[in-house]
Structure 1
């Protein structure tokens, strides 16, 4: 690959690619029992994520969606990081796709005066756990999540990032 993916704000034209990327990673790579019907937010991204302090971004390479990340405004200067997915061939330190997506979301959070970012993930995503920890997220118990944090039924591992 000659160039790194570019992070762009989501708009409707990306929807089919976003759904395909996320479902492929969840179902095919990690055998997670989750369907598109379990994720209605994917079919209403503008109204679900792109409000308040929230937003949704895609990583684009050669006009193809190769990564996603979102922040969901949960009130009180807090957001939930959701839908962080990167296509297998775009992972790792060479292209830094995940890092670019995360830094873009954190910069947005700072601009919006967000104080804390929370996330939930599955036990299977071990590389994701290392990535979040390496980037300043601290592991927390489910009981430490804000009341309005939307727990997904497959998530069992939780993290918090304090925005400075």
Structure 2
């Protein structure tokens, strides 16, 4: 099996992304609420991919298995958001890879670490 790749979110992934989050939230026994608490996931370009932010998908065999985002809070401060990995892929180091990817982006942009 090929190693998963990390790619930038594009709107063409939206339906697959919502299915991913439905699965992840169901696994954690919390409801996925795209109209309320999770409405940011319906507006990724304007919520995350602006002002030095980003949103990435980890894909394996054309399936989303993880996500991570960073959102700008101040000129040199950002927060990590939406770091999730499906239950079947936890314990494989995927979460760490996603976090390191976001951290590398943040460092390149000039956020403090």
TM-score by length of 1: 0.64
Gaps of 5+ in 1: 116-162
Secondary structure of the structure 2 residue equivalent to 1:37: coil
Distance between the aligned counterparts of 2:106 and 2:71, measured in 1? 10
Relative CO higher for 1 or 2, CA cutoff 8 Å, sep ≥ 6?
2
SS of residue in 1 equivalent to 2:35: helix
In the alignment, the residues of structure 1 paired with residue 3 and residue 96 of structure 2 have an alpha-carbon distance, to the nearest angstrom, of 11
Structure 2 residue runs without a partner (length 5+) = none
Q: Confirm or deny: 8 A CA contact 2:54 2:70 kept in the other structure.
A: yes
1:31 aligns with 2:29: yes
Structure 1 CA distance, aligned partners of 2:20 and 2:96?
18
**What are the superposed Cα offsets for residues 18-70 of structure 1, whole Å, 9 maximum, x if unpaired?**
111112212x2112245111211111101110011200000011111111100
Say whether residues 1:103 and 2:103 are aligned partners: no
Please identify the structure whose Cα radius of gyration is greater: 1
Moved over 3 A (4+): none
Partner of 2:47: 48
Rate the CA distance shift 1:12–1:34 in 2: closer, same or farther, 3 A: closer
Cα distance, 1:105 vs. partner?
0.3
TM-score in terms of structure 2 length: 0.91
Residues 7 and 59 of structure 1 are in contact (CA less than 8 Å); yes or no, is this contact kept in structure 2? yes
**Equivalent-residue separation in structure 1 for 2:3 and 2:95 (angstroms):** 11
Mapped to 2, the partners of 1:75 and 1:91 lie a distance apart of: 32
Partner Cα separation in structure 2 for residue 73 and residue 23 of structure 1: 26
User: Any conservation in 2 of the 1:9–1:58 contact (CA below 8 Å)?
Assistant: yes
Match of 2:82 in 1: 83
* Corresponding pairs, count: 112
Q: What displacement does 1:14 show?
A: 1.1
- Superposition pairs of residues 6-21 of structure 1, within 5 angstroms: 6-21=5-20
Alpha-carbon distance in structure 2 between the residues aligned to 1:33 and 1:18 = 15
